Amino acid sequence: MFFNNKLPVLMVLLTLYDQGRTEKIIGGHVAEPHSRPYMVFIRRHLANNEESFCDGFLLNEDFVMTAAHCQANNYTIYLGVDNTKSLKNDEIQDRTVEKAFPHENYDKNAYIDDIMLLKLSSRAVVNNFVKPVALASQDDVTLPKSCIVSGWGQTRPDGVISDKLMEMNVTLIENSDCTKLKLYCSNGKARPGKGDSGGPLVCGQNTAYGVVAFMSQSPDGHSMVAYTKIPCYVDWITSTMKKALSKNVKFDNILLY
């Protein structure tokens, strides 16, 4: 592909299957409970009764954003989650998905346009535990600073996911190939791992700039994580939500900074 002076690389999608999970957020720490009320835990129901997990984030009462490679036959969405071992309590809201809207140009082989909206079957109730996150605007052309990625990874190789939300700081790098593909990129020891797909790259004043997409690994062991660049997709996000809601639901604007 395009990283590390065009050396051959292995592109690793960061979805998390019920078995065979091997990574967690690398170099991260446990997030303060409910400090990321926009975070969404997504249970993906696949063929042959298999399950997999992705992360996402709440845009408004009707929509969750995640990665297009997190597509599934159907989904269960959990809002207000702190501990994944306890998904049934008064703080947590669970929803099914009425319809998924992966980007029409998503290419699973080229890893481009890896972004998807999930229309909830019933609206989320915003409270202290469940809140939408603001999105970066299409005018945000500079490389964002002070970025955090959060998600639920696994804690040991036998496939048990973390029961706590993890988070870490990441530093974005200037990379012309990433820019051409409408991506932000980061490297370093602290990085997302499998199970963090679809989660938000949040920078500055709690503004979502990216969607965790994939990791690139070169033969010499260096890795780089790519995030779908939200400012490049603002028009698509807005138009997709308007079309989805135009028949019978009043459109609520997402927060844009």
For 96, the token pair is 């099914």
User: Of these residues, 114, 162, 186, 223, which one is catalytic?
Assistant: 114
Specify the CATH number of the domain 37-132+235-245: 2.40.10.10
Q: Which fold has domain 134-231?
A: Thrombin, subunit H (2.40.10)
In sequence order, what are the residues at sequence separation of 6 or more whose Cβ sits closer than 8 angstroms to the Cβ of residue 246?
none
Q: How far apart are CA 137 and CA 200, in angstroms?
A: 15
**The pLDDT of residue 176 is above 60:** yes
Confidence of residue 246 (pLDDT cuts 50, 70, 90): confident
Q: Which residue has the higher pLDDT, 47 or 123?
A: 123
Burial category of 256 from C-beta neighbours within 10 Å (exposed 0-12, middle 13-18, buried 19 and up): middle
**The pLDDT of residue 16 is above 90:** no
pLDDT at 71: 96
Q: What is the pLDDT of residues 212-223, one digit of tens each?
A: 998 877 666 667
pLDDT at 193: 64
Residue 137's identity, in one-letter code, is S
Confidence of residue 156 (pLDDT cuts 50, 70, 90): very low
**The pLDDT of residue 67 is above 70:** yes
Q: What's the rounded mean pLDDT across residues 92-117?
A: 94
The C-alpha R_g of the chain, in whole angstroms, comes to: 17
Q: How far apart are CA 256 and CA 254, in angstroms?
A: 6
Residue burial 134-153, b: 16+ Cβ < 10 Å; e: rest:
bbbeeebeeebeebbbbbbb
Tokens 């920078």 identify what position? 203
Q: How far apart are CA 86 and CA 153, in angstroms?
A: 16
pLDDT at 146: 94
Q: Is 197 a catalytic residue?
A: yes
Nearest alpha carbon to residue 100 among 135, 131, 54: 54
Q: Which range among 44-48, 92-96, 181-185, 214-218 shows the weakest confidence by mean pLDDT?
A: 214-218
User: Of these residues, 150, 162, 197, 216, which one is catalytic?
Assistant: 197
Q: What's the rounded mean pLDDT across residues 74-85?
A: 93
Q: Is 222 a catalytic residue?
A: no
User: Of these residues, 55, 62, 69, 186, which one is catalytic?
Assistant: 69
Q: Is 122 a catalytic residue?
A: no
Please calculate the CA angle 43-154-95 and round it to the nearest 5 degrees. Answer: 20
C-alpha 186 chain-centroid distance: 15
Confidence of residue 8 (pLDDT cuts 50, 70, 90): very low
pLDDT at 122: 97
Domains of the chain, by residue range, sit at 37-132+235-245, 134-231
CB 200 within 8 A of CB 133: yes
User: Could you tell me which residues are beta bridge partners of residue 147?
Assistant: 170, 203
